[in-house]
Amino acid sequence: MGPQVSYFSPEILLEQDIHAPAKGGPPLDARGAAFPGTNLYVQLGHGRNYAWSATSAGQDITDTYAVKLCDPGGGRATLDSDHYEFLGQCLPFDVLERTNSWAPTPADQTPPGSQTLTALRTKVGIVIAKATIDGKPYAYTELRDTYFHEVDPSAFGFASFNNPRKMRTPHDFFRSACQISYTFNWFYINRHHIAYFNSGQNPVRPKGVDPNLPTLAGSGSCQGASIRTR
């Protein structure tokens, strides 16, 4: 049943057992694998009479927006402007920076060095490009539906996977997997059944939105788009 992690060496998984009685809370009884740093529960594994796993899915949960640039002083905006229009306001970009550094090892003699990566963030996602539309400067942004919601509500789904009371039947499995907002193909088996569920918090877009083109994020309205803000 997967998962698709064999292209990492070593694989980015750790093995764990979770066993807790029902007294004072839901029962947990599972063994399997989880990703380091997010391993509050077993994410891929088995209980005493069932097992589950996952492979990657490819639903479209990311929208691209065209955000008009502006000058907070009322001047003419350019492609170098560091502010953008959102719901009638001229807001500054959030500036995100991360510095990576490295040193040589016995397996890799690359000389030591470092790099600083910078990204700009808006209320409707991370800036990926800039362009002009009808002569006016815009920033293109990408907003993933689960951005800033990487844990909630998916944690409830993983907790249910570890709860034997909520994984007795395929329908129990469906209800558990439905709480996970990530896009995955989930597989389930017990001694009588097999089942499959495709999870993902897929945005419901208005009919007027063309999925092949950016959506205008207007200064006073979203012009028919379903804007989700962080």
Mean pLDDT, to the nearest integer, of 147-156? 87
Q: Decide if 4 is inside a domain.
A: no
Cis check for the bond before 92: say yes or no (omega within 30 of 0): no
* Of 21-35, 86-100, 190-204, minimum mean pLDDT range: 21-35
Q: What is the CATH number of the domain that holds 132?
A: 2.30.120.10
Q: Tell me the percentage of the chain whose pLDDT exceeds 90.
A: 71
Domain harbouring 194, CATH code: 3.60.20.10
pLDDT for 230 equals 36
Residue-level pLDDT at 66: 96
Q: Nearest CA to 2 among 57, 59, 61, 58?
A: 57
Specify if 83 maps to a domain: yes
Q: What is the pLDDT of residue 223?
A: 38
Q: Is the peptide bond before 3 cis (omega within 30 degrees of 0)?
A: yes
Asked whether residue 22 falls in the same domain as residue 126, the answer is no
Identity of the residue numbered 51: A
Asked if residue 126 and residue 79 are part of one domain, the reply reads yes
195 in the same domain as 124: no
Tens-digit pLDDT profile for residues 182-206: 999 999 999 999 999 999 988 888 8
66, part of any domain = yes
Is residue 126 a contact partner of residue 141, using CB atoms and an 8 Å limit?
yes
Quick check: is 226 in a domain? Answer: no
Give the whole-angstrom CA distance, residue 95 versus residue 121: 6
pLDDT at 222: 37
**Domains contained in the chain, number:** 2
Tell me how far apart the alpha carbons of residues 218 and 9 are, in angstroms, rounded to a whole number. Answer: 46
Lowest mean pLDDT among 22-26, 142-146, 187-191, 204-208: 22-26
Whether the per-residue pLDDT at 144 is higher than 80: the answer is: yes
pTM of the model: 0.78
Is 129 within 8 Å of 146 (Cβ atoms)?
Answer: no
- Do both 152 and 164 map to the same domain? yes
Same domain, 133 and 176: no
Give yes or no: residues 73 and 127 share one domain. yes
Q: Which of 3-7, 15-19, 147-151, 156-160 shows the lowest mean pLDDT across its residues?
A: 3-7
DSSP 117-177: EEEEEETTEEEEEEEEETTEEEEEEEEETTTT-SSTTHHHHHHHHT-GGGSSSHHHHHHHH
Q: Are residues 75 and 181 in the same domain?
A: no
The whole-angstrom distance between residue 148's C-alpha and the CA centroid of its chain comes to 8
Residue 35: give the domain boundaries: 14-59+148-199
pLDDT tier at 26, thresholds 50, 70, 90: confident
The answer, yes or no, to whether residue 219 has pLDDT greater than 50, is no
For residue 9, being part of any structural domain is answered with no
Residues 139 and 152 in one domain: no
- Check whether residue 78 and residue 138 sit in a common domain: yes
Given a cut of 50, whether residue 225 has pLDDT beyond it is no
- Considering the domain architecture, whether residues 22 and 85 belong to the same structural domain is answered as no
How confident is the model at residue 218, as a pLDDT? 59
Residue 77 lies inside a defined structural domain of this protein: yes
Which residue type does 76 have?
A: R
Is residue 66 domain-shared with residue 138, that is, in the same domain? yes
- Lowest pLDDT segment from 41-55, 183-197, 207-221: 207-221
